[in-house]
Structure 1
């Protein structure tokens, strides 16, 4: 049993953790609006009952546990009003084994330990390990596509290419500045974009992606940044997948598999 923080201190703690909860919710649903609705519902529930922070020592684990209770009680979103990529995402979600993606995202992207994932999901470590194994198989099975990298650091770009190629995807090219990225995307029409935010000439990966998405709105994007909290503000359209630098190979593999899974259509190589 923990000593709960004061109301004011708790508010500050939750505010600092909110970008990461939104990242998780967005990746879990495959859509910004749907994910943010679940995050907002979690905050509303905590306004009336904060007992979870009395019961769980880590505020971050407690916050994610509160989210999971709401997510589990509501069930996966139906996506009845969704269109385009979001609609395909929900169709894919309905075919997955329950709780597998939650475990995978919590462990690989949010970097919770197995014990913490078990506490968040209200299960045990053995079950978490089983869910992770199932998730890896379901997310990567028979889904391959064309991936473009926007990154100005040569070593990182090379590393990303290696990880993605080892997964069976085709690299369409690497761009180090925004103008190159827009041109490359137009020429190669990738199924997925991996993008840094700050590029070599001072241009923005966000601006490049926005220009690309005007022509191909349904291309999923994974941003890789040292400052994810600057991207997850809720002030503008944001990607479903955000990886924090320095990243791990497992994080990249997880995000790529899920983004490609969501975006997979008959046009992808399978």
Structure 2
């Protein structure tokens, strides 16, 4: 099997990781494109002795570490992208990298160590540090848009365990619009397909028409929203999910919260 055939199925998940790491679809996808251009120019940047997925993410981190000026140029960046870049400079990135690699991407501590070029013990220390930072985040109110009762209950419990409040739990786009007419959430967790056939994406568009708020989408088919070919979610959780995955995503989404950054 060729290298291209090996890495092609891995790219949607790499895009998810890159977007979560940068807080932006545009910036995250730009890093992935830069990696692919590098592979085309010299495919030896992928260590063939490693598992293909580990080798791909390790090569991505080599690109990330170089901080390509074209990717960090803020002259034409949106307000959210400027905030994201500023936030990246305020917190040790490797803590978040270790947590996202394990909790969101499912790497073991050993594999994460290979990606980041650190020991497994250091990975465990980094994850603990990142979790403590998440636990210390300012509490906010969360709107949950989810039509499956068991999943919505799980999300509510995870949110409360993190110290946040549940603003409302709704099952349709119409209910989401009604909820935001009364209060503004600090975070939205939104399923893609809702009970009445409406879309969580459309519900979020309705929310964005009123104000900006960090959003985490939840779907059983993430590959459909990780193509890099159109406006797509920055934060995406795959069903079924682990509590640690949701916790990492919430922590990262709130880290890039524009209002929190502006108030800092």
Does TM-score exceed 0.5, indicating one fold?
yes
The equivalent residue for 1:252 is 246
Query: Is the Cα–Cα contact under 8 Å of residues 39 and 46 in structure 2 kept in the other structure?
Result: no
Question: 1:17-65 CA distances to partner (integer Å, 9 max, x unpaired)?
Answer: 1111111111000011111110000000111222244533311111111
1:177 alignment partner in structure 2: 172
Could you list the structure 1 runs, at least 4 aligned residues long, displaced by more than 6 angstroms after superposition.
267-270
The CA deviation at 1:115 is 0.8
CA distance in 2, matches of 1:53, 1:93: 26
**What is aligned with 2:80?**
85
User: What is residue 231 of structure 1 aligned with on the other side?
Assistant: 225
**Residue equivalent to 2:142:** 147
Partner of 1:215: 210
Deviations 1:169-203 (A, max 9, x none): 11110110111112212322111100111111111
Partner of 1:63: 56
Displacement, 1:264?
5.7
Please report how far the alpha carbon of residue 128 of structure 1 lies from its aligned counterpart in structure 2 after TM superposition: 0.9
Q: 1:158 maps to what in 2?
A: 153
Conserved 8 A contact 1:145-1:268 = no
Choose 25-34 or 176-185, whichever is displaced more. Answer: 176-185
2:101 corresponding residue in structure 1: 106
- Alignment RMSD, CA only? 2.2
1:129-144 correspondence to structure 2 within 5 Å: 129-144=124-139
| 1:228 Cα deviation from its structure 2 partner | 0.5
Deviation at 1:70, TM superposition (A): 0.8
CA distance in 2, matches of 1:186, 1:225: 25
Q: Partners of 2:224 and 2:20 in 1: how far apart?
A: 17
SS at match of 1:99: helix
Is 1:145–1:269's contact at 8 Å kept on the other side of the alignment? no
Aligned length: 262
Name 2:35's counterpart in structure 1.
42
Between the aligned partners of 2:73 and 2:24, the Cα distance in structure 1 is 10
Alignment check: 8 A CA contact 1:140 1:261 kept: no
Deviation of 1:99 after TM superposition, in Å, equals 0.9
**Shift in alpha-carbon separation, 1:259–1:249, aligned structure 2, 3 A:** same
Asked if structure 1 preserves the Cα contact closer than 8 Å seen for 2:80 and 2:258, the reply is no
What does residue 120 of structure 2 align with?
125
- Structure 2 distance, partners of 1:119, 1:86, is 29
